[in-house]
Amino acid sequence: MFDILVVEDDRSLQKLMTAVLKQNGYNVLLAGDGQQALETLDTSHVDLIICDIMMPNMDGYALTETLRQSDNNLPILMVTAKETFDDKKRGFLVGTDDYMVKPVDMDEMVLRVAALLRRSRIISERRLTIGDVELDYDALTVRKNGKAIILPKKEFYLLFKLLSYPKQIFTRQQLMDEIWGMDAEADERTVDVHIKRLREKFADFPEFEIITVRGLGYKAEKQI
């Protein structure tokens, strides 16, 4: 059974989310703000966090940023009344994995939770399969029909990241921070160079495509 931490200061919404998640077979832990969430994470196993943004003491942005800075990669679904593009962009920049706007459709929430848990399992298993293509994280290798392509470390990490979250847009800065490190001397053009190399190497792979999102960054889409 998966353990879901709901971080929400609205008691009514907290109760509703708890009831729906339990009906769908999840165990639920509760926190009223980011600080309580950190305390819960110190003492309890958690597989996924559903997190409001506007909360007392520590809001959702600060909680997410704190976790990512400490290399905690728990999947986070951010839930908020804020619905502008800038709000969503800020959420993704601090490290959230997905985003829902209130009022929350509970059926959609359950689907998003299931999708995030699947992606998390892919990362923990360090192996990703798309049709006949298999990415082996430990070997930095892409295999198809018995043939193996060994990639340079940064290229592989970039491809694995994009394919682990199909259709999700990542800014160049997000990719730089995660793959090259926040203190890297390279600039965002480095991402463009690596994307170009990946496109050249996998141009004849119909299973996936790396797409440029003008003004933002990149996303990958599975074609099967």
Q: Write down the residue that tokens 């962009």 correspond to.
A: 89
Q: Which of 18, 45, 38 is nearest to 109 (CA)?
A: 18
Q: pLDDT per residue over 100-120, tens digit each?
A: 988 999 999 999 998 888 777
Contact, 36 vs 64, CB < 8 A?
no
Q: Return the bridge partners of 77, or none.
A: 50, 98
Give residue limits of the domains in the chain.
3-123, 126-222
**Tokens at 154, concatenated:** 């940064």
Residues 6+ apart with CB under 8 A from 106: 16, 17, 20
Looking at 15-29, 140-154, 179-193, which range is the least confident one? 179-193
Within a 10 A sphere around the Cβ of 94, how many other Cβ atoms? 20
Question: Within 13 A of 186's CA, how many CA atoms are on the CB side?
Answer: 17
- Out of 3.40.50.2300, 3.40.50.720, 3.40.630.30, 3.40.50.300, which CATH number does the structure's domain 3-123 have? 3.40.50.2300
* Of 62-66, 119-123, 187-191, the least confident: 119-123
Give the pLDDT confidence of 167-218 residue by residue, as tens digits.
Answer: 888 988 888 877 876 556 667 789 999 999 999 999 999 999 999 998 889 9
Q: Give the pLDDT score at 5.
A: 97
Task: For the sheet with 127-130, list strands across it.
Answer: 127-130, 133-136, 141-144, 147-150
122 pLDDT band, cuts 50/70/90, is: low
Pairing of strands 3-7, 27-31: parallel
- Determine the CATH number of domain 126-222: 1.10.10.10
